[in-house]
Amino acid sequence: MPESISPTANWESMYIDGEWVPTSNGSAIDVEDPSTREVFASVPAGTESDVDAAYEAAAAASEEWGAAPPAARQEVVEQFQHALAEHEAELIEVMSHEAGGTAGYGHTAHHLASDQAAEAATLPRRMKGEHATSNIPGKEHVVQREPKGVVTVISPWNFPLNLSARAVLPAIAAGNSVVLKPATNTPITGGLLFAKLFEETDLPPGVLNVVTGRGSEIGDRVASHPKSDVVAFTGSTEVGRDVAAAAGRNLATPAMELGGNNAHIVTADADLDRAIDGAVFGSFIHQGQVCISINRHVVHEDVYDEYVSRLVDRAESLVAGSAHDEVHLGPIIDESQRDQMLGYVEETVAAGATLETGGGIVDLDGVDDSLVVEPTVLSGVTNEMAAACNEHFGPIAPVIPFADVDEAVAIANDTEFGLSGSVHAGDLGTAKSIADRMETGMVHIGDQPINDEAHVPFSGTGASGVGGYNTDEFLREVTETKWISIQHEPREYPF
């Protein structure tokens, strides 16, 4: 494995204006492997002066890059995609150490990032304007689409590779420069790796800048920087509200993909084999640390007991352990996330639900204070219980019964969130009518909520976000239109 992209490589510099530079005060942040609880790398703890330097570089580079021909911008993104493919094994290894991702998680994240690159490479040639005839004689209208300038990307820790890619790559493809601030837990996969990969392309200096650091120390400066024109954030709704408010002070465009509380609705006549298959994947992939995972299983009372029994059997067949072993579930990212989700389980049981399986921690040899949580199924849950009304973000499956379709839809919609969802019903017409009534940005029939394809819009409603990602949705976020009118003939004025 090349030393430049490995868990043990030197990650102790930030990337500003095409150069690897130390932080201004020399301080660092340790990066811990969630499986072993051991520190395997250190990254710079950036300061506000480092943030300012990154934005200065981005602003200086934006005009020339924005004027680059579409073919040149397309080529750079294609070069990035090639580098992504060349280093697949190394990237997956780093993700295992940093994000606690299993091998399956790593391949999925890499595939999604590659899909984002392929879609982004088409954007430079799709930035087309419009022409319109004027109501005024002798005049024509031209509407041009241009890059906004500097795009801020604040990426999350759960899927840092592809969720950084879906903002960084289209922003650059559209002619913007970028300042990337990765999550504190995943500064390598979500940030510094992008600089490494772009070094293998013809991207000019200053177009991509990566500043690592604690959100508590530099987050406000990043979100509210006066040189930022767009702020793309993926994370919790609580933090997203603050980020959007900070961006709004400079009238920067907010692109916020926030929390979810996604329902998996199963009717009495649904194919339970398919519904359970989707349920297991949708609840337990990457330990449930997915904004579009199943947060609530909403199941008709006629098949409720069978559904719970079969879900318990499947959950107990899953192997949870170190991400470096052959397991289905790896560790939670850190102890605060682990303790919060286990607290929701305890509160839910105390409120009257039944713990069918799980609810505890899997001990790992040689690891103090393991972060691995057992696959957990709760029955007898109501929508008001802690594991249901909160985004638990863990390998937890609360199962809620319903008597009729109207009740199922009411349960699904009884949340401030509206990100994703899924429906299993006996016929497509019923499933489609349920999907139409679900107040959420995305619904998947005959499947589960975790779906993301770069050529299809990805967005939520309510407290799940503002704006959208993928395809033309994000292209509109990072570009703006300019109306130019041309008066070809002398015009008559009233005075």
The set of catalytic residues is 257, 291
Q: What is the DSSP string of 270-286?
A: S-HHHHHHHHHHHHHGG
The answer to whether 154 and 166 have CB atoms below 8 angstroms apart is no
Tokens of 350: 């105390």
Q: What is the DSSP string of 147-183?
A: E-SEEEEE--SSSHHHHHHHHHHHHHHTT-EEEEE--
d(CA 349, CA 378): 8
Dihedral pair phi/psi, residue 486, rounded to 5°: -125, 115
The answer to whether 254 and 401 have CB atoms below 8 angstroms apart is no
Assign residue 260 a region (left: φ > 0; alpha: ψ between -120 and 50; beta: otherwise). beta
Q: What is the DSSP string of 39-94?
A: EEEEEE---HHHHHHHHHHHHHHHHHHHTS-HHHHHHHHHHHHHHHHHTHHHHHHH
Determine the 3-state secondary structure of 213 from DSSP.
coil
d(CA 363, CA 481): 56
